[in-house]
Amino acid sequence: MSELTWVDNQGILFDNTVSHKIRRLADTTEATRDVSEGMRVALKINTAEQGYPYGLRPGFVRVLADIAWKATQKRPIICDGQRLVDYWKRSRGNNFLETAGEAGYTNETLGGHFSINGGFSGDEGELFPCGENSDLGGVEVGTAVCRSDALWVLSHVTLHPLFGISGALLNGGFDCLSGRARTRILDGLNPYLFNGQRISSEDRKEFQLRALESHCAVRTAMEDRVYYVNYLWDITPQPEYYPFSEAPILNNLGFVASHDPVALDAATYALIREHAPDAARIGNMNFEEVLGYAEKVGLGSLGESPEHLS
């Protein structure tokens, strides 16, 4: 068993398909360590905005949904919150479900109960503390997440204009909050950095710190029963909430998993840097700083190298 494992994209055969690889990854990293029969597991995913063409394949989620189902003997909850900011002005829950359905995210395909984290409005949440010395104090965690017994954060890794990388740290924290909490963390920043929009490095850093603090609240809500998988597949320059994307910046690298989001995102970042040396320029990232601060607030530890499986 390994705390941090990377299953690459090599040697795919009939008996070593992507599904086999994800299953092996879940085994190796003890995905079901914190769950038992009867528990409700929430799988937090990223559903793509209309126009974003590289959304995570539902089948990749399904493999882990089946593992959760088998471990708990209950259908898992598969959820995502409404958009960070509603680009197409389709903020209602019914539109969210329609958009997700068009991308293939349904109860039938995902193998669980697909629901909106935060309800129809996106505002349904419960307040949890972010820890001592927090600027935020507390944030409202979406109900589909905080009312579950365990959380699996399944992240489609992309670059992110504000956070650097959209992976375990962002998807398991900021993205798990209610809409109103995310608005508070965003604090007026425009997350769509195109059409001439820009952001100062100071504002970016403030956002990153607040987003990491909010991750502490999610872990508190889940009593640390959180497991993370990063899908390094179609790593696009734009994140899933964008209404478009350019082509992926590198070939698919496989999947990384851990119970430690800092180690996981650090390994993810290292892999991206190794295979796409100019990724930092593309995303204008300061992600090392993000990782350092994440470790400082107690979300995990840096330095571990992933066990490499093929």
Partner 1 sequence: MTEYKSEPTKWTEMSGPVQGGRDTYQTKSWNPPKHTWGPYTETGPAKVWFAEANATNWTESMICKAKDLFYEAKLNECFDKGDEVAIKIHYGEYNRTAILRPEYIAAIVEEVKACGGHPYVVNDTTLSYHTFNNMATSQYQMEGAIRHGYTDATFGCPVLIADGFSGEDDYRVDLPEGLILKETYIGRAIAEADAMIVLGHARGHSITMYGGVLKQLGIGCQSKRGKYITHLAHWGDPHDAIGWPKFTDQCPGTACKFHKMCDDSCPRNAHKVFEHGKQWFPEKCRLCYSCQVTCIFSGMTGVTFEENYFPNAMIAHGDAALGAMKCFEKGKVGFINHAIDVVPECDCFPWAGLAICPDVGLFAGKDLIAVEMATLDAIDNAPVSPGSVADEKGVKQGEDKFRLVNGFSPRITMSAGEKIGLGTMEYDLVNYEPVLTPENAQKWQVRGAGHKPTTVRLRETFHRHDLATEVMPFKRTEFNKDWVWNEWKKYDPFKGETPA
**E strand or H helix at 153, and its extent?**
strand 150-156
Q: How many CA atoms are closer than 13 Å to the CA of 10, on its beta-carbon side?
A: 5
Q: Does 180 bind partner 1 (CB under 8 A)?
A: yes
Is there binding between residue 115 and partner 1 (CB under 8 A)? yes
140 forms beta bridges with: 127
Is 181 one of the binding residues for partner 1 (CB under 8 A)?
yes
Establish if 284 lies at the interface with partner 1 (CB under 8 A): no
- Taking residues 198 to 237 in sequence order and writing x for each that binds partner 1 by CB under 8 A, - otherwise, the string is xxx--x----------------------------------
Taking residues 21 to 60 in sequence order and writing x for each that binds partner 1 by CB under 8 A, - otherwise, the string is: -------------------x--------------------
The piece of 46-54, 152-160, 188-196, 210-218 that touches partner 1 (CB under 8 A) is 188-196
CB of 156 to partner 1, least distance (A): 22
190 binds partner 1 (CB under 8 A): yes
Give the burial string for 266-297 (b: 16+ CB within 10 Å, else e): bbbbebbeeebeebbeebebbbeebbebbbeb
Quickly count: other Cβ atoms within 10 Å of residue 85's Cβ.
Answer: 15
- Helix, strand, or coil here: 78? strand
Contacts of 110 (CB under 8 A, 6+ apart): 58, 61, 62, 65, 78
Give least dist CB 94 to partner 1, A: 4
Of residues 24 and 113, the one with the C-beta less far from partner 1: 113
Distance from the first to the final alpha carbon of the chain: 15
Give yes or no for a contact between 71 and 132, defined as CB atoms under 8 angstroms apart.
no
d(CA 96, CA 118): 12
**Closer to partner 1 by Cβ: residue 110 or 253:** 110
Tell me if 80 contacts partner 1 by CB under 8 A: no
Judged by CB under 8 A, how many residues of this single chain contact partner 1?
52
And the tokens for 164?
């650097």
Q: How far apart, in whole angstroms, are the C-alpha atoms of residue 248 and residue 276?
A: 11
| Contact pattern from residue 135 through residue 154 relative to partner 1, giving x for each residue in contact according to CB under 8 A and a dash for the rest | -----x-xxx--x-------
Q: Please, are residues 173 and 128 in contact by the beta-carbon 8 Å criterion? A: no
- Pairing outcome for strands 307-309 and 4-7: parallel
Stretch that binds partner 1, among 10-18, 92-100, 252-260, 278-286 (CB under 8 A): 92-100
Nearer to partner 1, 101 or 248 (CB): 101
Q: Which token pair is 244?
A: 């478009």
Q: Which of 9, 50, 183, 252 binds partner 1 (CB under 8 A)?
A: 183
* Residue ranges that bind partner 1, judged by CB under 8 A: 40, 75, 77, 79, 82-83, 85-87, 89, 91-94, 97-98, 101, 106-108, 113, 115-124, 127, 140, 142-144, 147, 179-181, 183-184, 186-190, 197-200, 203
